[in-house]
Amino acid sequence: MSISHYIKEIGRGTKGARSLTRAQACDLMGQVLDGQVSDLELGGFCIAMRFKGESTEELAGFLDATQQRLPAWPQSATAQPVVVIPSYNGSRKLANLTPLLAGLLTKKGLPVLVHGCDTDDKRLGTDEVWQQLGWTSIERPTVLEAGDKVWMQTRHLLAPLARLLQIRRQMGLRNPAHSIVKLLDPIHGTDTARSGLVLASYTHPAYALPMAETLALRNTSALLVRGTEGEAVAAPHREPASMGVIAGEICFERSAIHSSQLILGAENTPPEQDLNAQQTAQLTEEMLSGQRPVPAPIAQQVDQIVALHHAMQTNNAQGRASLQAFNRSPD
């Protein structure tokens, strides 16, 4: 079916627009990624979706189409999940601690893939800090062993997806690509132990449930958190709400702890703000070496990720049941 037919369905306004089925959404996004639509049709699609918003079925379909076009990721001989950290926002005010999170996880022996693209000029991107640290960047899928950490630009992951992201610079509006990259699992192995553990994040609480439903539809494993300035790392001054998901099944839900509830101490003192890439890299190295304490909310996030990673490897009821210790209901 041509994209013009789909645009007629989704472009009828906030009250008249109809959501597509998962299969239709997959077909539509496939046409977009394969370059089978004109610039005018692409603009119409982006605007229509911005006004309507993606349903969970549509987002699952968009992810299906994207996944089908990703290159196969080579697997390690020792099967273990790879932690996948999307980084597409950077930091505007707070220190960009996404590289710190990646470094802490690799110190625990977990393999980590961070993917992203250039950020707004007014934001400090993860790639800038990554370069200052001298850590590895890759241009094609490579085997990731325990303790490896790599950065990959979206254009090397899937060039058409990167181009779709860049439309925001021309139109000033986000489009479905910005939702896709937050939930995408580039590893996507044959079973849970060989797949990615996606660190998915949202800014507005209303997005939490639709994102969890999409993870369930696609049997994705993830730690879903309310992020920091759009990044998946916990804010240093508060522990965010989080949800642990394995193969689409929710294993724990944890409510947020605000700064007023934290026990004050050196480990809860937020790092300096408005740092450049070099200063952020230095801060990261100091925390990784133990010269400065890791903020308590980030240390807690690391514990959750390590526990999910272990449960994905065992992939049994006992492993998942152990995650219930992270449950915390709102006061």
| 206 and 255 within one domain | yes
Average pLDDT, the chain: 91
> Do 296 and 257 belong to one domain?
yes
Question: Do the domain assignments include residue 42?
Answer: yes
pLDDT tens track for 294-311: 999 999 999 999 999 999
pLDDT in tens, 263-277: 544 455 667 778 999
Range of lowest pLDDT (30-34, 88-92, 161-165): 88-92
pLDDT of residue 260: 54
Task: Mention every residue, 6+ apart, whose C-beta is less than 8 A from residue 245.
Answer: 212, 215, 216, 220, 221, 222, 223, 224, 251
| 123 in a structural domain | yes
pLDDT value at residue 266? 43
Please, are residues 255 and 208 in contact by the beta-carbon 8 Å criterion? no
The count of structural domains within the chain is 2
What pTM did the predictor assign? 0.94
Could you tell me if 182 and 96 lie in one domain?
A: yes
Distance of CA 248 to the CA centre of its chain: 15
Query: What local confidence, expressed as pLDDT, does residue 259 receive?
Result: 53
- Is residue 230 located within the same domain as residue 273? yes
What residues make up the domain containing 322? 82-326
Domain boundary residue among 69, 95, 123? 69
74: in domain: no
Give residues with Cβ within 8 angstroms of 132, minimum separation 6. Answer: 277, 278, 280, 281
Q: Does 150 lie in the same domain as 51?
A: no
34 lies in some domain: yes
Q: In what order do the strands lie in the sheet with 242-246?
A: 137-138, 149-153, 112-116, 82-87, 196-202, 221-226, 242-246, 249-254
Which of 34, 69, 104 marks a domain boundary?
69
pLDDT over 80 (residue 4): yes
DSSP, collapsed to helix, strand or coil, labels residue 24 as helix
The helix/strand/coil state of 294 is: coil
The verdict on 212 and 288 lying in the same domain is yes
In a domain, 199, yes or no: yes
Element containing residue 267 per DSSP (H, E) = none
Give the CA-trace dihedral at 79, 83, 88, 91, to 10 degrees.
-150
Cα(237)–Cα(230) distance, rounded to whole angstroms?
16
Rounded CA separation 291/293 (Å): 7
Choose among 56, 122, 111: nearest CA to 85: 111
Which is more confidently placed, 69 or 322? 69
| Residue 34: CATH number of its domain | 1.20.970.10
146 within domain boundaries: yes
Query: Strands 242-246 and 249-254: what pairing?
Result: antiparallel
pLDDT in the model for residue 331: 57
- Residue 6 half-sphere exposure toward CB, CA atoms < 13 A: 28
Quote the strand ranges of 268-322, DSSP E: none
